[in-house]
Amino acid sequence: MRTKFRVVAALAAAAALTLTACSSGGGDTGGGDTGGGGDEPFRVIAFTSGNQTPIGAWWVKAVEAQADELGWDLTMIQGDFDFQKMNPAVESAIGQGADAIFNGYTDEGSIQSIVTAARDAEIPIFAMDAATEPTDAYVLNVTTDQQGIVDQTVGALDETLAGLDGKTVMVIGHEPHAGIRMRSALAMEAFEEAGADIAGGDIQQVLSPATGRTEALAFVADYMSANPGKLGAVWAGWDDAALGAAQAITEAGEAGKVTGVDAVAEAIAQIEAGGAMLATVEQPWPSILDMVIEAMVAYQESGDLPAENFEAVDTTLVTADNAADITPSDQLE
């Protein structure tokens, strides 16, 4: 009797946990039946590893809405940053047949097996923000202009600090993210060219994006503790790290300025409030999505692939002057 009770209780607990896990929304690998050609619906496999980020979650919803509107037969695969789970799911969907693949925010380096499977099946991959440079993996990848982002943020610091020559600037990056890696390196070059001293002599690398804020906070707090009054600015590759850096500067009562990238609501609010957070960068994801969808529709209708396989679009520098007009990237609808 006691054993039976235990078994029932264990099953109930497992069922409760399973339901809870299911309700978290990850890992939807359901796909539609495929046919292709003629009157069959246009079959699209869409996937992203970043569905747990606000922008990734927005992308999933936006693509599903577009697919509904266009009458596509969409298979949406959400990877939860787990490539061991996501890649086989996408490859399996490719094996069942599709007309096109849409990659959202997943770097080429992490999906080589998908690229190979798609190439073997002769299915074109359209992408947004999935590589920082042109690559044969995609028939089209639209992303943001990394050099433009660096020019805008470094320019903002240059203007606020009345020149960067001789100023000490900390650069905070995160190497596993291709976009952040590229713009951090470009920022480092720009600061060195402008005559700035790089705090710590190199890019300060955050180990995990999940702890980016606390890691950046510690980098900056420790640096200021050892070098009081010396830090002129912090350039961070994304807003969460920038917010940690800004908090460290505020707590230390220093005058350094910080820039980030992403234009999340919290960063915009801090920019509007004045203080350490000087600027961030808005990347126009909705218009980028429209560009990719337009190219996919053209392919659906005519079979024509885009003339260029890479496009880097301009971004908007967000400062106190225009912060009120910007839609935060974590509140896209």
Partner 1 sequence: MTTTRNPGLEDTTDTLAIPRRSVGQTLLASGTVLALVVLIAFFFAMRPDIFLSFTNVRNILYQVAILAIIAGAQTIVMVVGDFDLSVAATAALAGSVSAALMLGGTPVAVAILAGLVVGLLIGLVNGVLVAYLNLSAFVATLATLTSVTGLAFLVTGGTTLFNMPAEFNNLGQGRLLQIPLPVFIAIAISLILWAVLRFTTLGRRWYATGGNVEVSRLSGVNVRRARLLAFTIAGLVSAFGGILLAARLGSASAVQGEDNLLFAVAAVFLGMTVARSGAANIPGTMVGVAIIGVMSNGLNILGVNSYVQQVVTGLIIIAAVTLSSLRTRVR
C-alpha R_g of the chain: 23
Distance CA 216, CA 135 (A): 32
**CA dihedral sign, ordered 329, 128, 294, 117:** negative
Q: Which is nearer to partner 1, 70 or 218 (CB)?
A: 218
Residue type, 148: G
CB of 311 to partner 1, least distance (A): 28
Find the part of the chain contacting partner 1 (CB under 8 A) among 3-11, 98-106, 151-159, 309-317.
Answer: 3-11
CA distances from 150 to 191, 238, 260, 290 (A): 10, 12, 10, 25
Site map 251..290 versus partner 1, x via CB under 8 A: x------------xxx--x---------------------
Q: Which is nearer to partner 1, 124 or 232 (CB)?
A: 232
CB 9 within 8 A of CB 2: no
Site map 200..239 versus partner 1, x via CB under 8 A: xxx-xxxxx-xx-xxx-xxx-xxx-xx-x-----------
Q: Which is nearer to partner 1, 114 or 170 (CB)?
A: 170
Kindly state whether residue 158 participates in binding partner 1, applying the rule CB under 8 A.
no
Angle between helices 83-95 and 112-120 (to 10 degrees): 0
Task: Give 223-243 as a DSSP string.
Answer: HHHHSTTTEEEEEESSHHHHH
44 in helix, strand or coil?
strand
Query: CA neighbours within 13 Å on the CB side: how many for 283?
Result: 26
Among 29, 52, 160, 316, binds partner 1 (CB under 8 A): 52
Q: Which residues pair with 75 in a beta bridge?
A: 45
Site map 75..114 versus partner 1, x via CB under 8 A: ----------------------------------------
Q: Which is nearer to partner 1, 43 or 181 (CB)?
A: 181
CB of 75 to partner 1, least distance (A): 22
323 CA to centre of own chain: 21
Number of residues that bind partner 1 (CB under 8 A): 49
Looking at residues 118 to 157 of the shown chain, list those that interact with partner 1 (rule: CB under 8 A). Answer: none
Distance CA 55, CA 281 (A): 14
The residues binding partner 1 (CB under 8 A) are 6, 9-10, 13-14, 17, 20-21, 23-26, 52-54, 57, 200-202, 204-208, 210-211, 213-215, 217-219, 221-223, 225-226, 228, 240, 243-244, 247, 251, 264-266, 269, 330-331
